[in-house]
Amino acid sequence: MKETVNVLLIGDIVGQSGIRALFVGLKDLARRTDADLVIVNGENAAAGFGLTPEIAVSFFSMGVDVITSGNHIWQKREIYETLESNPRVLRPANYPQGTPGSGHVVLEKSGVKFAVINLQGREDMTPINDPFRSASDIVKKLRSENAIVIIDFHAESTEEKEALALHLDGEVAAIVGTHTHVQTADERILPKGTGYITDIGMTGPEPSVIGVKTEIAVRRSLTQMPIKMETSEEPAGIHGVLFTIDIASRKTTGVRRIAEKSVI
């Protein structure tokens, strides 16, 4: 029996360019990294804002196991039914009670039980329920599952991301940040064995300004006018992180950033 598993997390998929990059590059990347579980953040896949049922189905057909999201998941109302019917499409767990869908899922892959939790930050974002207490409550409920727990924390603030990671150090296998679309270089294993990186970056068009057409982003900054943002169609790269996790202890033993430039 295997002693370790590899969990591959792919950063925010942005528009058609990001979808194409995933279609072309994911299968080979998963093979090269010997990934046992593949998680992608899909909240920007539908032209930069939201996720549709059709795109979700295409992700699963590419080999994705779980789709996480964030504040833009509500942009396409047609995804609401999918959030209710497919437990592997997540919205942040700390939205108020009555919100469509679920914020965590338990599944088995390669003979190993995994739990994936999706959370959203509050600093410089919508002031929803406390992600710290929500995370602690879910982790406590999951203890009887004896699962390897992975968290996607969709948040703006580096401080908030690091604080949550240290708050849960030793309680979960790994925590990644998403949302900023810029991959950070601080991947590490925390003192009690939790793998961490502040942001895994985006799978989307390069060059661009976090996925938006450069000329539009520059004009918005120069004029301070509410010019409509449009997703760039430049060639895309794949960004993410790979965690190697000990099955017995459910602690991270290795972490490596993924940066596949201009896949297509």
Radius of gyration of the chain (CA): 17
Active-site residue 104, yes or no?
no
Give the CA count within 13 Å in the CB-facing half-sphere of 170: 3
Q: Which residue in the block uniquely carries the two structure tokens 């930069």?
A: 48
**CA pair distance 70, 155, nearest whole angstrom:** 8
Query: Residue holding tokens 């059709």?
Result: 54
Specify whether the CB–CB gap between 2 and 247 falls below 8 A. Answer: yes
Phi-psi region of 179 (alpha: psi -120 to 50; beta: other; left: phi over 0): left
Three-state DSSP at 4 gives strand
Alpha-carbon span 201 to 21, nearest angstrom: 14
Alpha-carbon gap, residue 236 to 205, rounded angstroms: 4
- The CA distance from 242 to 125, in Å, is 27
Neighbours of 187 (CB within 10 A): 19
Residue 232 CA to residue 225 CA, distance in Å, equals: 19
User: Which of the following is catalytic: 72, 104, 181, 239?
Assistant: 72
Angle between helices 53-61 and 15-33 (to 10 degrees): 20
Nearest to 42 by CA among 7, 83, 81: 83
Beta bridge partners of 66: 39
Q: Which residues are catalytic?
A: 72
